[in-house]
Amino acid sequence: MKCVTGKNAYESEEFAREALIQNRIHFNHREGNGPINIYLCSDCNAWHFTSTGTEADFLKEDEVINRIQKEIRLRNWTDEY
C-alpha cells in the first residue's frame, strides 16, 4: 500500500514495527542512518517510517537488538557460502 507521500504504508503499528526491524536487518544501517522510528500518518491513516526525531524505544530493547544482530550474522554467513 502507498500513501500520497510516496512512502510505504503499513496498516497497523504492529506491522510497521516488524517492517522496521526487518529493514534494519536487511540494510544493516550504521549509527545515525536509515529509518529510526514509525509514525501514524494523518494523510492516509497508516503507519510509515521516519529517519528524523528520536529512535523508537522498541529498537533499544535487548531482545530486538540481539535479534537484529543475530539475523545480520546469519545473513552474512549464508552469503559467504
Q: Is the pLDDT of residue 15 over 70?
A: yes
Please compute the mean of the pLDDT values over residues 20-31 and round it to a whole number. 90
Rounded CA-CA distance 67/72 in Å is 9
**How many Cβ atoms from other residues are within 10 Å of residue 66's Cβ?**
10
Entry pTM = 0.87
Average pLDDT, rounded, for the chain: 91
Q: Is the pLDDT of residue 14 over 80?
A: yes
The residues pairing with 8 across neighbouring beta strands, listed in sequence order, are 2
Q: Hey, what's the cell of 37?
A: 522510528
Q: Is the pLDDT of residue 26 over 80?
A: yes
Q: Is the pLDDT of residue 71 over 90?
A: yes
Give the model confidence (pLDDT) of 48-59 as tens digits: 999 999 999 999
